């Protein structure tokens, strides 16, 4: 299959900027239309309202003011919403509920209840990107997200709990387990 120059450019751009794409055919198939018109279909299924509402509620959880007198703990809802939308796209996150997202954020904040010196400002908790230069001189973007890591691990724990519950429900008595 021959790819158009536009599709080759998109794939090259994704690779050069460190965005991992599990299956390039899926990306290529999301580009639709004739050779002069392409529409990129987003990977996430969340609506913009979801990101706006989540950004507002996360912002309410973080303390007001500035960290170390320099960096604001919060950011604007619009900037946080954009950051969340990018995170869902980059990490290909599934559809989490707002309640699940807030529970993860509360769990993170609870770690710093007595000392906020090492707590991240909200925008960096959601997603932080940094640029590194590889040995070959190419620049690559690395995306780090404590929020996404905690969301994904929370769902892994739920799966394990469900599996253990199923095993325990199948056993008739303690003798079956031992």
Residue 116 or 32, more confident = 116
Q: Is the pLDDT of residue 130 over 60?
A: yes
Q: What does the alpha-carbon distance between residue 132 and residue 137 come to, in Å, rounded to a whole number?
A: 9
Mean pLDDT of the chain: 77
pLDDT of residue 139: 86
In sign, the C-alpha dihedral spanning 121, 122, 126, 128 is negative
- pLDDT at 89 > cutoff 70: yes
Count CA atoms closer than 13 A to 110's CA, side-chain side. Answer: 6
Mean pLDDT (whole number) for 119-142: 89
Q: Residue 85 to residues 46, 55, 63, 137, 169: CA-CA distances in angstroms?
A: 8, 10, 23, 30, 39
Are the beta carbons of 120 and 68 closer than 8 angstroms? no
Cα(62)–Cα(41) distance, integer angstroms: 33
Question: Residue 58's pLDDT is what?
Answer: 96
pLDDT over 80 at 63, yes or no? yes
Q: Is the pTM value of this prediction over 0.85?
A: no
Whats the size of the chain, residue-wise? 178
The three-class DSSP label of residue 39 is: strand
Q: Does residue 43 carry a pLDDT above 50?
A: no
Please report the pLDDT score of residue 158 as a whole number. 59
Which pLDDT score is estimated for 3? 59
With the C-alpha atoms ordered 65, 71, 77, 81, is the resulting torsion angle positive or negative? negative
**What pLDDT is recorded for position 44?**
46
């Amino acid at each position: 299959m021959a790819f158009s120059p536009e599709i080759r450019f998109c794939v090259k751009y994704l690779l050069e900027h460190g965005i991992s794409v599990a299956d390039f055919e899926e990306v290529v198939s999301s580009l639709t239309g004739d050779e002069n018109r392409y529409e990129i279909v987003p990977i996430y299924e969340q609506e913009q309202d979801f990101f706006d509402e989540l950004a507002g509620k996360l912002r309410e959880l973080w303390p007001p003011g500035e960290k170390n007198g320099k960096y604001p703990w919060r950011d604007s809802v619009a900037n946080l919403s954009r950051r969340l939308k990018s995170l869902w796209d980059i990490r290909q996150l599934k559809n989490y509920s707002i309640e699940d997202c807030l529970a993860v954020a509360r769990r993170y904040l609870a770690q710093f209840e007595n000392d906020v010196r090492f707590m991240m400002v909200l925008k960096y908790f959601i997603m932080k990107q940094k640029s590194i230069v590889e040995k070959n001189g190419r620049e690559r973007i690395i995306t780090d997200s404590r929020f996404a890591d905690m969301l994904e691990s929370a769902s892994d724990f739920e799966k394990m709990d469900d599996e253990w519950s199923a095993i325990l429900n199948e056993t008739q008595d303690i003798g079956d387990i031992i």
